[in-house]
Amino acid sequence: MDWPFVIGIILFLVGLMASIALHEIGHLVPAKLFGVKVTQYMVGFGPTLWSRRRGETEYGIKWIPFGGYIRMIGMLPPRAGDAPGTVRSISSGPWQGLIESAREAALEEVRPGDEDRVFYRKPWWKKVIVMAGGPAMNFVLAFILFAVVLMGFGITVSTTEVSSVPECVKTAEAYAQNPRCTDADPASPAAAAGLRPGDVIVSVGGRATETWEEATRAIRGSGAGPVEIGITRDGRPMTLTATLIAQDRESLDEPGKIERVGYLGVTSKQVVEQQSLGAVVEHMGDFTARTAAALIRFPEKMVGVWNAAFSGEERDKDGPIGVVGVSRIGGEIAASDIPLENKAAVFVSLLASFNLAIGMFNLIPLLPLDGGHIAGGLWEGIKRGFARITRRPEPAHVDIAKVLPLTYALAFVMIAVAGLLMYADLVNPIRLAG
């Protein structure tokens, strides 16, 4: 048995459980502060593994570590005209019966003296804070974990110092046959120009370059032909003329796209640098934008997951991945040959990314997600604000029970998606390498 792989999976599941627990604390703390009665705080689903009652709340852990919940009384209001805590007889019709059954089950938890502690009677802004607390906790966790990686471990960055200069230019086929340079192989533009390891590139074509990315883009954009390369060597400024050649390379802006660019033939020296708090904020913003874009393309990407699961197509490394798949990647990280410090940095970064994705997903304004409850609270606030401005009677609480059929349908879809992702992660997983 590959114990490092197993340990990596276990560690990620522990981190996942901790993230879920903190997500639910994000709901629990404001709910209790606002006087909502919380009867259960559970991490996981299925049969209860362990629980203990503290006051009016049962705290526990369940066997299936793929979620969690807190149970607040009075999530659904009675129908207009019904006395608080009572429900009329169920109306005819399958959907109406479903709604009233759920409403009755919700109100059965309300005991005498709990009338002011039900969730639905709280001001709209308190409802929003309670429901937004979970995703907010995920965002805070993601930021802290990204800060640990960027400010603590640091990241590998490419400097403008030249690390190595290949002697010649070889095609992939020629390199596979003989990686050594021969008289038949043309000299690389960098070697022909006299560039050496240790040189620092400061300009390309007369334009100053402060970062390796700027230098790379300038070299690529120059195309084939002569170009001046400004360098410093042993502290002394120099200008060399390199005759660039054209090569097909992957685009820096559009991954997967091949474009014809100028080629010099140097590699940069890489160093590990601790980043600033501003870099963490920038990274968080960039990752949030990319996660939001991925969520928009989620239905399209799930088609690729289906094809990968049942048609054997290659799995999209940027496509959706489930808990099983991410846990497997955690195992691959632990079993890899990279230094322990690098393993820890990649592992923490993976957990940060997962927290950010969970927080973003939960903000989708559809029930049963937190975003659906937040949308309901905001709509109630808008209606009551409009009534106050127009001096109309205060409207009733937003009744989310009316959309329960859609909620159950979406829950079914979410279960199906989770099942498909789990199957794809088992039969055709995304791997770190290969």
Supply the residues annotated as catalytic: 24
Q: Are 73 and 110 in contact (CB under 8 A)?
A: yes
Alpha helices (H) in 249-297, listed in sequence order: 277-296
Q: What region does 113 belong to: left with phi over 0, alpha with psi -120 to 50, or beta?
A: left
CB under 8 A, 24+ apart: contacts of 374-377: 374/127, 374/128, 374/131, 374/132, 376/127, 376/400, 377/124, 377/125, 377/127, 377/128, 377/131
For residue 374, give every residue at least 6 positions away whose Cβ sits within 8 Å of its Cβ, in sequence order, or none.
127, 128, 131, 132, 363, 365
Q: How many residues does the chain have?
A: 434
Look up residue 363 and give its DSSP letter. Answer: T
Main-chain dihedrals φ then ψ at residue 203, nearest 5 degrees: -160, 155
Q: Are 34 and 121 in contact (CB under 8 A)?
A: no
Distance CA 360, CA 285 (A): 12
Percent composition of the chain: helix, strand, coil (DSSP 3-state, to 5): 50, 20, 30
Distance CA 63, CA 41 (A): 14
Q: What region does 165 belong to: left with phi over 0, alpha with psi -120 to 50, or beta?
A: beta
- SS3 state of residue 154: coil
Look up residue 168 and give its DSSP letter. Answer: B
How do strand 200-204 and strand 225-233 relate by DSSP bridges? antiparallel
Neighbours of 409 (CB within 10 A): 11
